[in-house]
A and B are shown apart, each in its own frame.
Chain A
Amino acid sequence: MAAALETHNLTKHFGDSVAVDRVSFAIERGVTTALLGGNGAGKTTTIAMLLGLVAPTSGEIRILGMDPARQGSAARARMNFQSPYVDMPKRLTVRRNLSIYAKLYGVPHAREKVEAVAEALQLTPLLKRRTGSLSAGQATRVGIAKALVNDPDVLLLDEPTASLDPDTADWVRGELEAYQTRSGAAILLASHNMAEVERLAGRVLMMKQGRLVDDAAPADLVKKYGRANLEEVFLQIARREEAAQ
């Protein structure tokens, strides 16, 4: 069976600057993989290329075996994402926004699906509210609901709990774990919360200056770098990066 998500020598140049440099990885279904790295490491550009928002300079992407350059619509129908870099229309109610995205993703029985996702993420009381009137935490949860509305086989999450209080963040992580167990989806997670990564991710892709510098299970990385936890590993790599600059 084809990997859920696969890149081969994925590269992106912005003028003279190399944002992503020959990155290759394959992500299997049923696994949460964390994409880690300091600011400017190339995580967001990598995710944007996977979503089709940024065109690669060179290299290949395969989503569920499909080439997004040729089968972009079909590939994107089976994936979804949540990101702080985009919003949903603020004047529309939560229900309307979720319903419109359900239809854009070709979800059958969109209305029932919206009710079910809202129920699962405890958003039912918010369905009639305008999206622009929500708190940052509520808006993040609505963003996650949108990301799950089509039961994606590939889910890309960029800082999914960044604006949530610890209790809600913990609850959302539980929901993501439950979704993955239920659906067998592949999840690619970009996060600066190392405790979150250690809890959710079975594998870590570490990026530095656009390149993939490590690829291992969190526990193996901790062992390899001789540190107490993943946060210390991250700091060691980031500071080495700063020293090099």
Chain B
Amino acid sequence: MIASLQRISALVERQWVLIAGSWTRIVSLMYWPLVQIVIWGFIQTHVFAEIGPTTTLVAISAVVGAVLLWDFCWRSQLGFALAFQEEIWSRNLGQLFASPLRPGEFVLALMAMSLTKTVIAIAPAVIVAAVAFGFNLFSVGPVVFAFILNLVVFGWAISLFASGMIARYGQGAQDMPWALMFGITPFAAIYYPVSALPEALRPIAHALPPSHIFEGLRAAIGENRFDAGELAWATGLNLVWLAAGLIAFFLLLRAARRVGAILQIGE
């Protein structure tokens, strides 16, 4: 079974036209990451200025870097899930699933759109972090691309599950993409190390790829070393999470067809 590039690009074109044809959509994509970086940049500048000049720069860099990287995960997750919901809001899902488009091609198209939206959303925040707060994301080294890729893939895994739930349970589950990400955030070790969590909660953090990414980021910025072990854990776990997300999506889609939800979705 070979995926059709023509069908995938047709769906990407449909989603791209929505963004390219609306400056308000582009602005709203960029807006939240920018607000996040400005708020956290100022908070950290203020708080750590009290601690002292030796630790200030490293601490600011670690938190600003974490905020930027976590946004890659958020944006990839929302980019996928909202592209899926666009098809529901426009009552187009039935047309798509009655066409030759295969579910796997649908997923690949949504991933491509998610990646595009993520780049559009984060690029201005990366520039502001460098210019206003002196943090160049790429100064972390080439490993930052591996961190980003892992976070993007984890975002897809979550959104596959959330989108499957929406396909099966309809608009009643439409808050799922946000709810899942907010639920994961305390355990993702974004702003503090895993060791800051109570011991009983640490296994949850260790099961999440982002916690390994952020531990790796802290090692890169704070200790100027590349922690290959953390990256390997993140990548391995991500493969499991992505496989689980795909299985959940296809099973939920099958269940949606069984109960006739595809026709009723949007109501």
Chain A residues, CB < 8 A from B9: 103
B22's nearest neighbour on chain A, judged by CB, is: A91
B264's nearest neighbour on chain A, judged by CB, is: A85
Contact (Cβ within 8 A) A87 B92: yes
Contact (Cβ within 8 A) B97 A52: yes
Contact (Cβ within 8 A) B99 A101: yes
State which size class the interface on A falls in: 20 to 34
How far in angstroms is the closest Cβ of chain A from B105?
Answer: 9
Chain A residues, CB < 8 A from B93: 86
Q: Which of A31-39, A73-81, A115-123, A227-235 contacts B (4 or more CB under 8 A)?
A: A73-81
A19's nearest neighbour on chain B, judged by CB, is: B260
B86's nearest neighbour on chain A, judged by CB, is: A89
Q: Which of A18-65 contact B (CB under 8 A)?
A: 44-45, 48, 51-55
Assess A87 versus B100: contact at CB under 8 Å? Given A54-B262, A55-B254, A55-B258: no
**Is B101 an interface position by the 8 A CB rule?**
yes
Tell which of A51, A87, A106 touches B98, judged by Cβ atoms closer than 8 Å: A51
How many of chain B's residues have a CB under 8 angstroms from any CB in A? 33
A/B pair count, beta carbons within 8 Å: 97
Chain B residues, CB < 8 A from A55: 254, 257-258
Assess A104 versus B99: contact at CB under 8 Å? Given A14-B259, A48-B263, A89-B92: yes
- As a 0/1 sequence over residues 71 to 114 of chain A, the CB contacts with chain B under 8 angstroms (1 = contact) are 01110110001010111111110001000110111100000000
Contact (Cβ within 8 A) A53 B98: yes
Interface on chain B toward A: helix, strand, loop, or mixed SS?
A: helix
Complex Cα spacing A101 to B13, Å: 11
**Is B201 an interface position by the 8 A CB rule?**
no
How far in angstroms is the closest Cβ of chain B from A150?
Answer: 9
Complex Cα spacing A9 to B64, Å: 63
Assess A104 versus B96: contact at CB under 8 Å? Given A14-B259, A55-B254, A91-B21: yes
How far in angstroms is the closest Cβ of chain A from B20?
Answer: 11
Chain A residues, CB < 8 A from B101: 73, 104
Complex Cα spacing A53 to B101, Å: 12
Most buried by A among B9, B17, B93, B99: B99
Contact (Cβ within 8 A) B100 A89: no
B99's nearest neighbour on chain A, judged by CB, is: A104
Assess A92 versus B14: contact at CB under 8 Å? Given A106-B7, A106-B100: yes
- As a 0/1 sequence over residues 1 to 31 of chain B, the CB contacts with chain A under 8 angstroms (1 = contact) are 0001011011101100110011000000000
Tell which of B6, B14, B98, B254 touches A76, judged by Cβ atoms closer than 8 Å: B98
A residues near B, CB below 8 A? 14, 44-45, 48, 51-55, 72-74, 76-77, 81, 83, 85-92, 96, 100-101, 103-106, 146
Listed A/B pairs (27) with beta-carbon separation below 8 Å: A48-B260, A51-B94, A52-B257, A53-B98, A53-B262, A54-B258, A55-B254, A55-B258, A73-B100, A81-B98, A83-B94, A85-B94, A86-B91, A86-B92, A86-B94, A87-B90, A89-B14, A91-B22, A96-B13, A100-B14, A101-B10, A101-B95, A104-B10, A104-B100, A105-B99, A105-B100, A106-B7
B residues near A, CB below 8 A? 4, 6-7, 9-11, 13-14, 17-18, 21-22, 86, 90-102, 254, 257-260, 262-263
> 5 shortest A-B CB distances, which residue pairs?
A103-B10, A86-B94, A87-B91, A51-B98, A77-B100
